[in-house]
Structure formats: structure tokens, C-alpha cells
Amino acid sequence: MKRIALVTLSFLLFIIFYSCKKENAPIKEVIISASEIKCDLQSIYFINAEIGYAVGLNDSIYKTIDGGTLWSVLPSGTSNFLNSICFTDANTGYAVGWKGTIIKTINGGSSWSTLTSGIIDYNLNSVFFTGANTGYIVGDAGTILRTTNAGTTWEPLTGGPSFAIKSIYFTDVNNGFVVGWNGAMAKTSNGGTNWTVINVTNTWLESVYFIDSITGFAVGWDGAIIKSVDGGNSWAIKSSGTTNQLCSVHFINSNVGYAVGFNGTLIKTVNGGTSWETIASGTNKNLYSIYFIDTLTGYISGGAGTFLKFSE
């Protein structure tokens, strides 16, 4: 049976510590080792097995080109904390964060420009693009934004949940889902123009992920996991085996998936979410984001600079 191999920096698992803020830091790229990062890493995104990005509760963006051993500290051009990052190709990426912050790079993270969100009072929590031009951002107070011109302008969308939205995921250009606090959930089938609110649970939800157009999962507080097998029209509650808050979920195929959360929680399913087993993560730090670049290699980011790389 395959097993997860989790190792420290010299092996592939490193729990990293670096000060989140440096007073009077020069505005330039700085190369640091993994052991020098210490801020909470809220979101991680890898383009391939070697090139990846992380953002968190500071104003820096971290980039690796060697699978996480060394990291470039990239100036973001903002002083606000960042919550989520994604790329549409090797050069073009977006990050979002506090006080309506949206930033964009077109050169692989070397420089970032600030985009106008029209939001100043709320935090933006998650960003997702369905193509080179069309993308979505969700945030506090039911905020849903859409761009159809690669971020030049952002249109506020209405009809979704009124609570803070924490995560967004599209299965194709038309069908998407948002989840958030107080069990907030909504579905669109026309690219965000209209939303149908779905009432499933009162548990606060942190992350949503679909394996395909039919099967999806959402995770959240108190170890909550819910699953849909009909394209998000209905959802069933599943037992995760933990009461720790779950922050992110990702599947590598129809059967095998992982979720991460507080206190180093890492759980795995091999039967499409019917049951979940606890995997030793090697840390008790909160884990916020999980991302796979293929069926064999995954990455996790978390509190106090925690970064885990493991292979199936």
C-alpha cells in the first residue's frame, strides 16, 4: 500500500520560521532558506513540482523554484495581509487580501500591480479563475466579484449568501460554488450572474472543492465534511473523525482526497469521502491550505510558516 512520506527540510517536510514583518526592509527580491519563514501561510499554489507561491498574514509573496527548499521574498506592492493566490499561467497570477486588496503579476511574481476592487471595508478571502480573462473573488459580507478582462475591472455580483464567504470553486466556465460562515453556500449555473442559496448546515464552512462536475466536498469548523454527488444540488454530512476545524480540501482522483486543519490535522480518504483516516503531519501548527500538482506530490502551508511537502 502506498503511504505518505512526511519529512523535515532535509527530507521533504519542513516547518519554517521567518518573521512576518521586517522594518525598513528593502523593496527587492530576497532569497531565503525555508527555515527563515515564520508568518502564517494562508494559501499556497504550485504551477509545477518546482515552482510555487505562498501568501499569508504579512505583505510579502514567497516564491520557490526548487520545490520549496529556497524561497524568494517578493515585494507585493501592498501593506495589507494576503489570504489567497492563484495563477492562470506560468507568468500571470493574482493575490487577494485585507481591505479589498487585489494584486496581479504578469512576470512570474517579479513585480505586482494593484487592481481596483471597489472594496475598502471588507477582506477578500479567495480568488479563482476559470480562464485567462474570467475570474472570481469572494470575501466578507457576502462579497462576490467577477472580472471578464483579466482583472482590469471587477463587477460586484449579488444573490449569494450575506455572510462572509471563504472559498470559491468552479467546475467549468458556468458552474461554480461558494461557501462560508454560518453554513453559507450558493451555486451558480451561468457564470455568476445568478446564484441559488443552498441550506445544508449551520456549521461555518472554509473550503469547497469539486472532483468533477458531479462530485464535490466542503469542509469547515468542528471537523465538518459535506459531500454532493449531484452537482451541488444536495449535500450529505460525512464523518471526518476529528473535531478540529478543517480549512482546506483537495482530491487527486475520485477516491483519494485530503483535508487539513487546526492543530496539525491531516486526514485522508481512499473511498471517495465515505470514511477518513488521520495521517501524522509531524506538526501541531494550524494547517490552512493544501494543493496537489499531480497524483503523487502535494504541498501544505500553515501557521508560523509551516510548509509540508509530501509524496504519495
Check whether 11 has a pLDDT greater than 80.
no
Provide the pLDDT for residue 69: 84
Q: Are 217 and 256 in contact (CB under 8 A)?
A: no
Cα angle 168, 56, 227 (rounded to 5 degrees) comes to 30
For residue range 13-55, list pLDDT tens digits in order. 333 333 343 332 322 344 555 556 778 999 999 999 999 999 9
For residue range 240-272, list pLDDT tens digits in order. 999 999 999 999 999 999 999 999 999 999 999
Q: Going by C-beta distance under 8 Å and a sequence separation of 6 or more, which residues neighbour residue 10?
A: none
- pLDDT, greater one: 71 or 140: 140
- pLDDT, greater one: 6 or 74: 74
For residue range 186-229, list pLDDT tens digits in order. 999 999 999 999 999 999 999 999 999 999 999 999 999 999 99
- C-alpha cell read off for 103: 494584486
**How far is 44 from 35, CA to CA, in rounded Å?**
17
**How far is 273 from 253, CA to CA, in rounded Å?**
11
Answering whether pTM is above 0.75, one says yes
**How far is 273 from 276, CA to CA, in rounded Å?**
7
Neighbours of 7 (CB within 10 A): 14
Confidence of residue 68 (pLDDT cuts 50, 70, 90): confident
Q: Across 113-256, where does the E strand assignment appear?
A: 113-115, 124-129, 135-139, 144-147, 155-156, 165-170, 176-180, 185-188, 196-197, 205-210, 216-220, 225-228, 236-238, 246-251
The top-level CATH class assigned to 5-18+31-311 is mainly beta
